Amino acid sequence: MVEVLVIAGLVVAAALAHEASRRRALRRARARAEGMLDDLAAAACAALADPGRDRRAARAVERYGTARDRVAAATTRHELEWMVRKHELRRAGYAFVTRRLERARDLIAEAVPARR
């Protein structure tokens, strides 16, 4: 009988440790997702501050609202991590395009002589 109680106690301890680990992972993923929301909020504020970009501002505010709702509705760390990865991929793509546009402008400026 004692062996059964010891085994049951070990099973309960393992289950509690697993649940605590899962909750810690969910908290870390939620913190990363909230960091992503901070980035989106900053982008929305920057877009709103730019006077000639109404469509861009509307899209940025809409993107923030949708992401906020998705983060609030997420129940697993996998959902939250997927949202953060998608955001990071989007930001990396924008940075890549920006760098390539700057490089193309520099090459054009070097190739075309200035008018005098």
Range with lowest mean pLDDT among 17-31, 44-58, 94-108: 44-58
Structural domain boundaries, residue 60: 2-111
In this prediction, residues 80-91 reach a mean pLDDT of 90
Q: Is residue 116 part of a domain?
A: no
The pLDDT of residue 110 = 83
pLDDT at 47: 79
Residues 6+ apart with CB under 8 A from 44: 57, 60, 61, 63, 64
Report d(CA 85, CA 32) in Å as an integer: 10
pTM of this structure = 0.66
| pLDDT at res. 89 | 93
* Mean pLDDT, all residues of the chain: 86
Instruction: Give domain status of residue 25, yes or no.
Output: yes
Query: Which residue in this structure is represented by tokens 């400026």?
Result: 109
Is 96 a domain residue? yes
Per-residue pLDDT tens digits for 34-77: 888 888 888 888 877 877 777 877 888 888 888 889 888 888 88
Work out the pLDDT band at 116, boundaries 50, 70, 90. low
Number of domains in the chain: 1
d(CA 112, CA 72): 52
